[in-house]
Amino acid sequence: MLTSRKPKNIKYHNQRLILALLRSQEVMTAGELAEQAHLSVPTITKILAELQARGLVRSMGKGNSTEEGGKKPELFALNGAHRYVISITAGSERIKCALLDLTCKVLDKRSLPYTDGSSYESCMDDISALVIAACEAGKLEEKEICGIAIGFEGIVDAPRGIFRFPIHNQAWGRDLPVKEDLQARLPGFTGITINNGSRFAGYAELSEHPEYASCRVVTISTGTSTGGCVLENGVLMQGANGFIGELGHITVRETEEKACTCGNKGCFETAVSPDALCSYMQELEKAFPREKEPAADRSDSCDYEKILRLAAKGDACARKAVEKSIDYYSILIRNIMLLYDPHIIVIQGIYTLAGDFFLKRLQELVKQSPFFHIPQGLSIVFSGLDFDRAADLGGALYSVDRYYEGEQLFEEI
Ligand SMILES: [Zn+2]
């Protein structure tokens, strides 16, 4: 959050503000930056000179001359090649790795199945091997990498770098000192940070929507696993134990036999999972057989994407199935409203395929009781990011932001 106005921090604040503005546009002139930052052109010129000397910003040549025919202004952009970041997502079956520059452009992507999925040590070795391979592919040395973000599925105590509970790899044990163990395997690297993967994916929304950095945002992501994050003025909330954002394990139905991976019953994750959606569809098709339907349009096997696309197109049966999931979304969102009262809820993941019908129905349900019927109090929107992109981007953006916040911006040169 760019609000610090203490005199000693003004220079630091202004430098970060210019970096944030440059991220939102491909190129900007000193005049445009001055206008948006509410600073004078000479101040901006001085800051740009410092950032250029540090290699964080570069000149992109001259732009078009002004309408009055004045001289052509110089254009500035972030120097993406100043440093690089690595973003890793350790999912339930594979470990994915992306190398990105400081503008979050992906330069290399690779992934590995776990050598031994039941062994934590083996997972740490696999992650280290991916980091080394990504550096080799980019021809980069350790010191050129300013951050390595690793997203896991489960409860992560990010500030301490401890993976409290690997929900999909429970054989690994508990309270795993991931940051320490990776640092031991990757001694030349700095900026290793771990978090819950859905939290990182939620953080990625800040790249598309810089305005989210000045309000309260909750993201809900649904796929093979379900999670989310709470962003308060651009800060990714963690909680005392790393629980914030584990929305998949909020109880949304009382009558449920099937246990969730967390050990409880009635979790949101089990109620809206791809398997659950397919079972709603199969029950409906059994009750209302569609004999005239061509075989290709029936959902005999579990093809949740097809159900969601059919719902988007207006298929009545698919919509009824998706509406069951929407009921559970509305219960979750009411709980979220009572806990966090966000300005915006961003839906990430598979349900974005269901189209406007999903959002319209969800908004109606959430506001159905007078208690929750507060005009303009909440907007529920779909993410514009593909979920794989969000996973890569979130960890990378988080690392880039921590790098820009670091002390190197204070140091005299
Ligand atoms: Zn659960």
Percent of the chain with pLDDT over 70: 92
Ligand 1 centroid to Cα of residue 321, in Å, is: 22
Tens digits of residue pLDDT in 35-81: 988 999 999 999 999 999 989 999 998 877 666 667 788 999 999 99
Q: Is the pLDDT of residue 11 over 70?
A: yes
When pLDDT is cut at 50, 70 and 90, the band that residue 309 belongs to is: very high
Are 82-204+390-409 and 206-384 in the same CATH fold? yes
Q: Is the pLDDT of residue 8 over 60?
A: no
Q: Are 78 and 26 in contact (CB under 8 A)?
A: no
Sequence-ordered alpha helix ranges (H) in 168-212? 178-185, 197-203, 205-208
Q: Of 8-22, 223-237, 351-365, where does mean pLDDT reach its minimum?
A: 8-22
When pLDDT is cut at 50, 70 and 90, the band that residue 147 belongs to is: very high
Pairing of strands 216-222, 226-232: antiparallel
Ligand 1 centroid to Cα of residue 140, in Å, is: 41
Q: What is the pLDDT of residue 3?
A: 47
Ligand 1 centroid to Cα of residue 30, in Å, is: 51
Q: Is the pLDDT of residue 224 over 60?
A: yes
| CA atoms of 385 and 382, how far apart (whole Å) | 9
Whose structure tokens read 């050598």? 115
Closest CA to 91 of 178, 13, 166: 166
Q: Is the pLDDT of residue 4 over 80?
A: no
Q: Of 60-64, 159-163, 228-232, 307-311, where does mean pLDDT reach its minimum?
A: 60-64
| CA atoms of 7 and 26, how far apart (whole Å) | 30
Q: Of 96-110, 138-152, 288-302, where does mean pLDDT reach its minimum?
A: 288-302
**Topology at the third CATH level for domain 206-384:** Nucleotidyltransferase; domain 5 (3.30.420)
CA 106 to chain centre: 15
| CA atoms of 279 and 74, how far apart (whole Å) | 59
When pLDDT is cut at 50, 70 and 90, the band that residue 25 belongs to is: confident
Q: Of 34-43, 192-201, 296-305, where does mean pLDDT reach its minimum?
A: 296-305
Percent of the chain with pLDDT over 90: 70
Given strand 344-349, what is the order of strands in its sheet? Answer: 235-236, 226-232, 216-222, 344-349, 379-382
When pLDDT is cut at 50, 70 and 90, the band that residue 375 belongs to is: low
Residues with CB under 5 A from ligand 1 (ion): 249, 260, 262, 264, 267
Ligand 1 centroid to Cα of residue 387, in Å, is: 21
Q: What is the pLDDT of residue 291?
A: 60
Q: Give the length of the chain.
A: 413
Measured distance between the N- and C-terminal CA atoms of the chain, rounded to whole angstroms: 25
Ligand 1 centroid to Cα of residue 263, in Å, is: 6
Q: Of 135-139, 181-185, 375-379, 390-394, where does mean pLDDT reach its minimum?
A: 375-379
Ligand 1 centroid to Cα of residue 171, in Å, is: 17
Q: Is the pLDDT of residue 270 over 60?
A: yes
Ligand 1 centroid to Cα of residue 272, in Å, is: 12
Mean pLDDT confidence for 323-329: 97
Ligand 1 centroid to Cα of residue 253, in Å, is: 12
Mean pLDDT confidence for 101-116: 94
What rounded mean pLDDT belongs to the chain?
A: 89
Top pLDDT among 337 and 63 is at: 337
| CA atoms of 157 and 171, how far apart (whole Å) | 19
Q: What is the pLDDT of residue 67?
A: 60
Q: What is the pLDDT of residue 302?
A: 74
Ligand 1 centroid to Cα of residue 137, in Å, is: 39
Closest CA to 217 of 378, 20, 364, 395: 378
Ligand 1 centroid to Cα of residue 260, in Å, is: 5
Q: Is the pLDDT of residue 299 over 50?
A: no
| CA atoms of 340 and 337, how far apart (whole Å) | 5
Ligand 1 centroid to Cα of residue 42, in Å, is: 56
Top pLDDT among 172 and 3 is at: 172
Select from 2.60.34.30, 3.30.420.40, 3.90.550.10, 3.40.50.300 the CATH code of 82-204+390-409. 3.30.420.40
Q: Is the pLDDT of residue 91 over 90?
A: no
Q: Are 387 and 223 in contact (CB under 8 A)?
A: yes
Ligand 1 centroid to Cα of residue 267, in Å, is: 5
| CA atoms of 393 and 203, how far apart (whole Å) | 8
Distances (CA, A) of 364 to 1, 89, 228, 303: 33, 35, 22, 27
Degrees to nearest 5, angle at CA 47 with 42 and 51 = 145
Domain ranges of the chain: 7-78, 82-204+390-409, 206-384
CA 376 to chain centre: 25
Closest CA to 246 of 271, 219, 214, 273: 219
CB count within 10 Å of CB 319 equals 20
Q: Are 177 and 124 in contact (CB under 8 A)?
A: no
Ligand 1 centroid to Cα of residue 361, in Å, is: 25
When pLDDT is cut at 50, 70 and 90, the band that residue 293 belongs to is: low
Q: Of 9-23, 46-60, 167-181, where does mean pLDDT reach its minimum?
A: 9-23
Q: What is the pLDDT of residue 239?
A: 92
Q: Are 146 and 405 in contact (CB under 8 A)?
A: no
Select from 1.10.3720.10, 3.40.50.300, 1.10.530.10, 1.10.10.10 the CATH code of 7-78. 1.10.10.10
Ligand 1 centroid to Cα of residue 280, in Å, is: 19
